[in-house]
Amino acid sequence: MRRILVFTHTGRQEAIAAAIETCSLLKAAGAITVMRRKDHEAMTDAIGEAIESIEILGEDCQIDDVDLGVVLGGDGSVLRAAELVREAPLPLVGVNLGHVGFLAEAERSELAATVDALVNQEYTVEERMTIEVKVWLDNVCLAETWALNEAAVEKANRERMVEVVIEVDGRPISTFGCDGVVMATPTGSTAYSFSAGGPVVWPDVAALIMVPISAHALFAKPLVVSPDSVMAVEILTRTDAGAVLWCDGRRTIELPPGARVEVTRSSRPVYLARLNTTPFSERLVNKFELPITGWRGPAKVDARRSATAALPVIGPGLQSVEPHHRDEPGIPMVARTDDGPE
């Protein structure tokens, strides 16, 4: 029998209700429900009695015995679950109970169909790049962690900017005062990086992203670099303003002046279960409710015709014309009236 680990947001009644329904659906489908003890206790308190046939993770079974994880909540819940199962590794599928839910694969209304597909193994598994994050000070590694979405260096005090220098592959790019710098994966490009003005990067693109936040500089544009590059942010010592490092909004460490944060691609990805093959472009439109009115789409293959002679074709007889002033006599570049050029 398949064991499916159910994660839920114990602080939300909607999530607990969804967990109770998920357990019932899994039992009816012949699967074994596995939960963490704290999630199981939250469900028990909500209904006033313990639900039978649920195994407790770490007591009745281990993470290696589990086939799949179901996360009931928003993107924050998926990030929390990824932190817990990354060592396994265990595929996760998110059921969105939040707002945008970019990491979620299904909505609350699709819960029954989702459980049925998972039990019958009607899904594919997708790898998502993660990053390794190291904090250095005077050649001493203060901390080492990872992130699925991003590592964000932020100013520690609201009233003072943090002075930084950004670096790629051991070469400085620019120095400026700012509110912070986000270093993200393609998965994280639709999260904090997106809010800071960074580009949307398709999840299957191998790249790393660096996005300054409210930088006081002429050149502080988002950068998209090779997945094999090393991105770094150094906190300058010309002021005593400190900073804080946040990884996926969950793990944090204070950064004193002189600290250095290095980000590289991790060799250990996170695995997400996909229930359908909806293109990322369509997910982008649906999640952000983007306007697409007026779109006509590409011509159908059987309706396409070869080009006609209506447009001139430039061949070997191409001529070049030297640049000239628009008012140069003899070259009618602009329409003229009696009062001069229009």
Q: Which residues are catalytic?
A: 75
Q: How far is CA 248 from the centre of its chain?
A: 10
98 marked as part of a ligand binding site: no
75 annotated ligand-binding residue: yes
Question: Both tokens of residue 168?
Answer: 């790629």
Are the CB atoms for 73 and 50 separated by under 8 Å? Answer: no
Q: Which residues are CB-neighbours of 131 under 8 A, at least 6 positions away? A: 146, 147, 150, 151, 183, 185, 208, 263, 264, 265, 266
Binding residue per annotation — 340? no
| Residue 169 assigned as binding residue | no
In what helix (H) or strand (E) does residue 264 lie, and over which residues does it extend? strand 260-265
- Rounded-to-integer distance, Cα 78 and Cα 69, Å: 10
Q: Consult the annotation and say whether 157 binds a ligand.
A: no
Q: Is 149 marked within a binding site?
A: yes
Nearest Cα residue to 272 out of 97, 132, 78? 78
Would you say 327 is a known binding-site residue? no
Q: Which of 49, 57, 53, 8 is nearest to 27 (CA)?
A: 53
d(CA 297, CA 303): 13
Tokens of 298: 């590409």
H or E element, residue 184: strand 180-184
* 8 A C-beta contact, residue 171 and residue 196: no
Task: Output the known binding site.
Answer: 75-76, 80, 149-150, 160, 179, 190-195
Q: Which residues are annotated as a binding site for NAD(+)?
A: 75-76, 80, 149-150, 160, 179, 190-195
